[in-house]
Amino acid sequence: MKKISLLLAFIFLTLSCEGDRGPQGPPGRDGGLEFATVYEIERDLRPQDGYTFIFEFPGGEIPESDIVQVFLSEDRINGNDLWTPLPAIFFFDDGSQVVYNYNHTSFDVEVFLTDNNFNLDTVPDEYVFNKRFRIVVIPGAFGENNSELNSMEAIMQEMPNTEIIKLD
């Protein structure tokens, strides 16, 4: 019995030994995963739909604490998209204007055109058809401490592991 006890003590001491501790690594960020979910879609804001469309989140419900931001591809410069955050106002030569805006729930996003001073039926087709949007779902914890949520570039730089999901 004494031999078994000595053998167990030897095994315990051998397995529990540690070597020298190495140098401490660089400090990391606190808490959880920090990446956004970005959906890129092309949609029409058709008159028969009231100049609106609804995008349902593919994965179902998102947490209430998450932040939703919508961007419109306004132009392409040197092959790169110019992403404008909504709401976005576009002015016409006659003084009229059109506003792209959105609202959201934890299940979907509604994007719509509003007018402040004229009939939407007179909006040129390029403001209504084949519009590209990015709908960005940002973790709430990230958004609490970040003032750069109105810049697609800043979001992508802060969360470089973010994948853009292009949907039909």
Q: Is residue 1 part of a domain?
A: no
Domain assignment present for 42: yes
| 66 inside domain | yes
- What is the number of alpha carbons within 13 Å of residue 146 lying toward its C-beta? 19
Residue numbers of the domain that contains 86: 32-166
φ and ψ of 77, to 5 deg: -125, 120
Could you give the percent of the chain with pLDDT greater than 70? 71
CA pair distance 36, 56, nearest whole angstrom = 17
Tokens of 59: 């994965």
What is the dihedral angle through the alpha carbons of 39, 42, 47, 49, rounded to the nearest 10 degrees? -40
- pLDDT tens digits, one per residue of 30-87: 455 557 789 999 999 999 999 999 999 998 889 888 989 999 998 888 888 889 999 9
pLDDT at 103: 96
Residue 108 lies in a domain: yes
Whether the Cβ atoms of residue 136 and residue 68 lie closer than 8 Å to each other? yes
Strand-pair category, 163-166 with 37-43: parallel
The number of domains in the chain is: 1
Q: What is the pLDDT of residue 17?
A: 54
Is pTM beyond 0.85 here? no
**CA–CA separation, 56 and 164 (whole Å):** 16
Contact residues for 167 (Cβ-Cβ < 8 A; gap 6+)? 39, 40, 41, 58
Distance from C-alpha of 72 to C-alpha of 149, rounded to nearest angstrom? 14
Q: Exposed (0-12), middle (13-18) or buried (19+): which is 155, by Cβ within 10 Å?
A: buried
